[in-house]
Amino acid sequence: MSVRVRRVYDPPEPGDGVRVLVDRLWPRGLAKDAARVDEWPKGLTPSNELRRWYHAGEGSYEEFARRYEAELAEPEAAGLLDRVRELADAGPVTLLTAVKEPEHSHAAVLVRLLG
């Protein structure tokens, strides 16, 4: 299984495989055709409430990750996570995000859960 994270603003690479946008909101200033996104499972992203809570600086990354994992256990999100896992079992998958530090974001939680 090959899953990696890249910033959506970086140009696509031949080894990206299936490109999955894992942000709830479309990245600012990026044309949809330039992003070359194959899938955009919005239900797999952190809830608006959790996203706002974390960006407001009200809690630690560890607490954010714990709450996000609880959201991912809900049926809709769990099904979408299984879908991405199936894609990764079939070939490379690149999770795309606009965050500046993907290693401290929801994308890192997804990689860990998919791995």
**Phi, psi of 31, deg, nearest 5:** -70, 140
**Averages of pLDDT over each 10 residues, the chain, 115 residues:** 93 95 95 92 95 88 96 97 96 96 92 92
Predicted confidence at residue 38, as pLDDT, reads 97
Predicted confidence at residue 90, as pLDDT, reads 96
User: DSSP code of 3?
Assistant: E
Least Cα distance to 11 among 39, 40, 35, 37 occurs for: 35
Predicted confidence at residue 37, as pLDDT, reads 96
